[in-house]
Amino acid sequence: MIQLKKIDKYYDAKFQRTFVLKGVNLDIEQGEFISIMGPSGSGKSTLLNIIGFLDEPSQGEYLFLGDPANKLKEKQKVQYHRSHIGFIFQAFHLIEELNVYENIETPLVYRGVKGKERKALVADMLDRFNIVAKKDLFPSQLSGGQQQLVAIARAIIGKPKLLLADEPTGNLHSEQGEMIMKLLKKLNDEGMTIIQVTHSKENAEYGDRIITLKDGYVREK
Partner 1 sequence: MLRFHLKMIKRNFLKDKKFLFNNILGLTLAFTAILFIYSWITYEKSFDKFYENSSRIHRFTVEFADAGSSRHFARVNTSWIKEFPGFFPEVEEMVRLVPGRNSSLKINNNKFYSQGVFSTDSNFFNAFNVKLIQGNANAVLDAPKCAVINQSIAKKYFGNENPIGKQIDWAHQQVPDFSTFTVTGIMPDFPKNSHFHPEILLSLDDPSQFAQWNYLYLLLKENTKPEAIQAKFSSFKNTYIEDEKSRESLVFHLQNVQDIHLYSHKDREIELNGDVRSITVLSIVAIVLLVVITLNYINFQIASVLERNTYFNVSKTFGAKRKSFVAQLALESVILIFISSIVSLGIYMLALPVVANWLNIDLILSTQTTLVIYLLALLFFVFLGVGCSIYPVFMSKMNGTISSLRIFNSGKSTSTDFSVRRVLVILQFVGGIGLIIATTVIIKQNQYLLSSRIGNEQDNIINLIKLPRKAIDNYEILKTELLKYPEILDVTATMEEPAGEVMDAFSYELEGMPEEDKDKVIYVLTTDDNFNRFYGNEIVAGEDFSENGDNTTKYLINEAGLKFFGYTNPNEIIGKRFKYNIPLPEKFFKEGYIAGVINDFHISTMQSSEKPMLLYNQPFFNYCVGIKYDPKRTSDVLVTLQNAWTKVNPDFALQHHFIDDLYFKLYKNQIRQSRFLILLAVVVLFISSLGLFSIAVYGIRKRTKEIGIRKVNGAKTGEVIVLLNQTFVKWVIISFVIAAPIAWFAMNKWLESFAYKTEISWWIFVGAGLFIFAIALITVSQQSFKAARRNPVEALRYE
The smaller minimum CB distance to partner 1, of residues 109 and 219, is found at: 109
CB of 34 to partner 1, least distance (A): 19
For helices 100-111 and 144-156, angle between their N-to-C axes, nearest 10 degrees: 20
H or E stretch including 181?
helix 174-189
CB of 220 to partner 1, least distance (A): 26
CB of 109 to partner 1, least distance (A): 5
Alpha-helical regions (H) of 54-173: 74-83, 100-111, 115-128, 144-156
CB of 50 to partner 1, least distance (A): 10
Neighbours of 39 (CB within 10 A): 11
The smaller minimum CB distance to partner 1, of residues 9 and 134, is found at: 9
The smaller minimum CB distance to partner 1, of residues 107 and 177, is found at: 107
Strand pairing class (162-166; 193-197): parallel
CB of 185 to partner 1, least distance (A): 22
Instruction: Answer for the pair 35, 184: CB distance below 8 angstroms, yes or no.
Output: no
Q: Strand locations in the chain, DSSP E? A: 2-12, 17-28, 33-37, 59-64, 67-68, 85-89, 162-166, 193-197, 209-214, 217-220
The smaller minimum CB distance to partner 1, of residues 97 and 221, is found at: 97
Footprint on this chain of partner 1 (rule: CB under 8 A):
45, 49, 52, 54-56, 78-83, 85-87, 93-98, 102, 106-107, 109-112, 154-155, 158
Chain centre to alpha carbon of residue 90: 10
The smaller minimum CB distance to partner 1, of residues 39 and 202, is found at: 39
CB of 54 to partner 1, least distance (A): 6
The smaller minimum CB distance to partner 1, of residues 102 and 178, is found at: 102
Spatial CA neighbour of 194 closest among 19, 36, 15, 60: 36
